[in-house]
Structure 1
Amino acid sequence: MIQDIEPYRLANEYEPAPPEGDAYILWYKDDYILLRHSSEAISFPRFSDISPDMAGRYAYLFSVGEDTFYLSEAPEAAFNEDFYLENMQTLRRTRPRYLTYAGLVGYQLYNWYRNRRFCGRCGKPMKPAANERMLYCPECGNLEYPKISPAVIVAVTNGDRILMSKYAGRAFKKYALLAGFAEIGETIEETVKREVMEEVGLRVKNLRYYKSQPWPFSDSLLFGFFADLDGDDTITLDENELAVAEWFTRDAMPVEADGFSLTNEMMIQFKNGLY
């Protein structure tokens, strides 16, 4: 999955320091990231690639191995033509894996910083804390920490069959598993049962936790569960959420391993008879 970058480790401890020349700049514009993309690998600009007087304000993000990563408010014109903007979805297919993951996690922090420039309580500009990754309002004392939204991925099974679905109204058109965000006041297990009932009108039992995955595209921490069908298998589709939901036997599942998402790994596990 995207976070599996061994032997590297993404160290997100907040240890800000001025960037060295070889530090990476993660530069985003809405849903695009600035990079250099060859047939073999991607790379990001470094502070040594731009004039010091154009670097602008910066924010320390994290380190991966010996490399450090920063956001920078340098203007787009500060970068040479070797670097260009690519849609974030491009990172589903890029290598090396540790730089891909750095670009994805940086995107989550970029969105957090840009969406919290002003206090949601009083409207005054927010300021970064010196000793932790936090923004605070000097006017009213409001504190903001990075947004992480818990969500579930659910593989509903019935013997040798699994329920697969496609999202409604999204660019991603491949088959996936049922998914949804936790609501206030419920356990993550209650989220599983509620989401399955809401999206396809089915009851489930024997919930089995599989594993988790950070998902920067939606500021999420995903919890994967396998669950057995409890009762009738007739699907009542929520057409606001799903375009289609169908039962597939293991040998008929329309999926191939991509090594990227928790959803894909869970489907492959079932397809190969491991769950």
Structure 2
Amino acid sequence: MIQDIFPHIFDNTFLMVEPKNKDIVIIFQEEHILLHKQTGEKALIKFEELDDMNNLIYLFKIDNLNFFITFQTPVITKGHDVEWYMLDIIYSIFPIWLQYAYITAIHLYNWYRMNKYCSCCSHLMMRKIEERALTCSHCNNIVYPIISPVVIVGVINKNSLLMTKYADNSFKKYGLISGYVEFGETLEAAACREVKEEVGLEITNIKYFGSQPWGASHILIAGFFAEIKGNPNITLDEKELSEAKWFNKDEIPLELSDISITFEMINYFLNNKEGE
């Protein structure tokens, strides 16, 4: 999965530090990022390449490399060949540890960008110096990074796995049932509700599989396997899904990138005795 970057070590300890020359500055502009016309680490923009940059925001470090973001318009030192790219370029030019760095940076970048002003009184929000939080300069409202919980469910019927496609989504490959956790719900209750809403099925024997942060959507995904309870006939919610189908192990389409928890769960089902 995208967070599995060993032997690299991700450290999100909050620090107030100044950038060093070799530290990385991640520069976003709407749906684009600024990078060198290179691949891998050579595409990264270092602090020493930027002129007149101040008020950088420290994000995290990987190994001994610090990562920052800026909301300033960058001035690149002459002689450096850079270009604006769509965000999804990271999946084709970076190793997985840098993919994880950038997708995590997007999470924090969007949080800072969307909380410039207080939602209670509209005054300017200020960065706290002792923790990762923003506080209102007028009413003292405090805002922390938004992390929305999501469940994903591998529903099993004997030796078959239920796979689905979204109805209104640019992502058209087969996946698993998923959805946001509602207020007042446990993760397990959310799993039951999502399965019932989307395909009209009851589930039992819910087992936790694992979790994955996904910064681009500011979500934390909790994966579960569950067994079908009762009738396996599907009642499709056509507002949510275009298709839902039972696949035997030898029929399962493994179309997804191995950075996702969905891939990990499907692959686990294929290679273990789950459901047999």
Asked whether the two chains share a fold, i.e. TM above 0.5, the reply is yes
CA shift digits 1:15-51 (9 cap, x unpaired): 1211111110111122222223546666321111111
Matching residue of 1:164? 163
Three-state SS of the structure 1 residue aligned to 2:72 is coil
The equivalences for 1:155-194 within 5 A come to 155-194=154-193
Three-state SS of the structure 2 residue aligned to 1:246 is strand
Kindly tell me the number of residue pairs found equivalent between the two proteins: 273
Aligned partners of 1:250 and 1:273 also within 8 Å: no
CA separation in 2, counterparts of 1:7 and 1:144?
A: 33
C-alpha spacing 1:241/1:126, structure 2 compared with 1 (3 Å): same
Deviation at 1:173, TM superposition (A): 1.4
Deviation at 1:233, TM superposition (A): 1.2
Deviation at 1:269, TM superposition (A): 1.1
Aligned partners of 1:257 and 1:268 also within 8 Å: no
The equivalences for 1:63-212 within 5 A come to 63-76=61-74, 78=76, 82-212=81-211
Matching residue of 1:58? 56
Deviation at 1:100, TM superposition (A): 1.3
Q: CA RMSD in A?
A: 1.7
Matching residue of 1:273? 272
CA shift digits 1:149-189 (9 cap, x unpaired): 11101000101110111112212111110001111101110
Identical pairs, percent: 38
Task: State the TM-score, normalizing by the size of structure 1.
Answer: 0.94
Task: State the TM-score, normalizing by the size of structure 2.
Answer: 0.93
C-alpha spacing 1:206/1:37, structure 2 compared with 1 (3 Å): farther
CA separation in 2, counterparts of 1:60 and 1:169?
A: 37
CA separation in 2, counterparts of 1:151 and 1:49?
A: 39
Greater displacement, 73-82 / 154-163: 73-82
CA separation in 2, counterparts of 1:154 and 1:66?
A: 37
CA separation in 1, counterparts of 2:40 and 2:18?
A: 31
Task: Give the counterpart letter for 2:56 in structure 1.
Answer: Y
CA separation in 2, counterparts of 1:97 and 1:91?
A: 9
Task: List alignment gaps of at least 5 residues for structure 2.
Answer: none
CA shift digits 1:52-107 (9 cap, x unpaired): x1x24311100100100001123155376632233223333443221111111000
CA separation in 1, counterparts of 2:6 and 2:194?
A: 33
Aligned partners of 1:42 and 1:95 also within 8 Å: no
Matching residue of 1:16? 16
C-alpha spacing 1:265/1:37, structure 2 compared with 1 (3 Å): farther
Three-state SS of the structure 2 residue aligned to 1:74 is coil
CA separation in 2, counterparts of 1:237 and 1:37?
A: 46
Greater displacement, 39-48 / 93-102: 39-48
The equivalences for 1:245-264 within 5 A come to 245-256=244-255, 258-264=257-263
Aligned partners of 1:151 and 1:222 also within 8 Å: yes
